[in-house]
Amino acid sequence: MGFRLKKLSGYEGVKGPLFMIIMDGVGLYRGEKDGYPGNAVEIAAPRTLCHLMEHEKIALRLKAHGTAVGMPSDQDQGNSEIGHNAMGAGRVFAQGAKLVEEAIESGRLFEGNTWKGIIANARAKKTPVHFIGLISDGNVHSNIAHLISLVGQCDREEVEEVYVHGLLDGRDVPPLSALRYFGEMEDYLWSLRAQADLQGKRRRYFVASGGGRMVTTMDRYEADWSIVERGYHAHVLGEGPRFPDSLTAIRALREKEKVDDQYLSHWVIHDPEDSGKPLTQIGDGHGVVFFNFRGDRALEISRAFVEADFTGFQRKTHPAVLYAGMLQYDEDTHMPPHYLVEPPTIDRTLPEYLAESGVPQYAVSETQKFG
């Protein structure tokens, strides 16, 4: 198809160069919410921004959340990745959360070669499937509903061992809400074990390790590889303070550290028969799924599992696992090579139309954004 731009009738606009300046964290919310000022930038009353917003010809208010930017519902908040995709492309695409939801509901995810390979590997080798990721319903990096669907499908496909390595949120959800989400996860895993017992089947489905997202596993932009190292050693080797279950771990560490969920130290669940041993370790032949759909905080841990010549930290061991991401987190480096859901296809973008129309463009970025 041709890339033709048609002038809007009845809109004169402003003559001259057009600047698109993306300022992360700047929004138009006004007033108080839950006792907190809603918009620090607006409270500061920046002179130039306020001046621009007062002129109808150059000011237009856009929604930055929900279906307007490709999220599943209008209850879903936007984020940096979603905003950069929508503004940079100039049109709306289905974003990660919506793509995953649709793939699960339609069954396409479970019909894909990557999922089938993970299940076939687990059943043939009698090895576990490990799920690593953020446990909450914030729908910014992940959604607990997606994890429950994946674990449930493992049960239906007769996978005997599943371990969840859960990261505490407290950032895209209330700061001390982890017990709710981990409680839901523990209850679900217990129900699968109980049902299996009644049917005479073996199901070893447990939470195995975890930690706060800002100190365990989910670093981004290579800011602090020790965050990834801490998580890798907890998930793979079972290294860290040991507890009988995730709820006990969260309560004990909250009491000790007095911090919000996102900063809570890493922890490991011990073997029920030997508190000196971890419940599990990730070994050769195991399946590992990182179930976050957003890429920025999923990329480094993916590299730690996938890259043979990895240099981010000393892994101590590098098991030969079948690793998959929920999506492919970096298309430029094809990381990870295996993923469950196809990422959004970004095409027919505004820059393409401008280029075809002979409009000169110049783009500058301080750091590479995922979008």
Predicted TM-score (pTM) above 0.85: yes
Domain of residue 281, residue span: 96-325
For residue 148, is it within any domain? yes
For residue 56, is it within any domain? no
For residue 45, is it within any domain? no
The model's pLDDT over 115-139, given as tens digits with 9 standing for 90+, comes to 999 999 999 999 999 999 999 999 9
The model's pLDDT over 229-267, given as tens digits with 9 standing for 90+, comes to 999 999 999 999 999 999 999 999 999 999 999 999 999
Q: Which residues are catalytic?
A: 80
For residue 10, is it within any domain? no
Return the DSSP state at 162.
Answer: E
Q: Dihedral sign for Cα 299, 305, 309, 314, please.
A: positive
For residue 253, is it within any domain? yes
Query: Which CATH number belongs to the domain containing residue 264 in this structure?
Result: 3.40.1450.10
187, amino acid identity: D
The yes-or-no verdict on residue 340 having pLDDT over 60 is: yes
Give the alpha-carbon dihedral of 165, 170, 174, 176, to 10 degrees: 80
Burial 335-348 (b: 16+ CB within 10 A, else e): bbebbbbebbeeee
CA pair distance 22, 335, nearest whole angstrom: 26
The model's pLDDT over 6-60, given as tens digits with 9 standing for 90+, comes to 777 877 767 788 888 888 778 776 555 555 566 788 778 889 888 888 876 677 7
CA pair distance 60, 74, nearest whole angstrom: 20
Total tally of structural domains belonging to the chain: 1
CA pair distance 200, 203, nearest whole angstrom: 10
Residue with the bigger pLDDT between 9 and 269: it is 269
CA pair distance 228, 303, nearest whole angstrom: 10
Q: What share of the chain is helix, strand, coil (3-state, %, to 5)?
A: 35, 15, 50
The yes-or-no verdict on residue 370 having pLDDT over 70 is: no
For residue 367, is it within any domain? no
For residue 11, is it within any domain? no
SS3 state of residue 339: strand
The yes-or-no verdict on residue 329 having pLDDT over 90 is: yes
For residue 52, is it within any domain? no
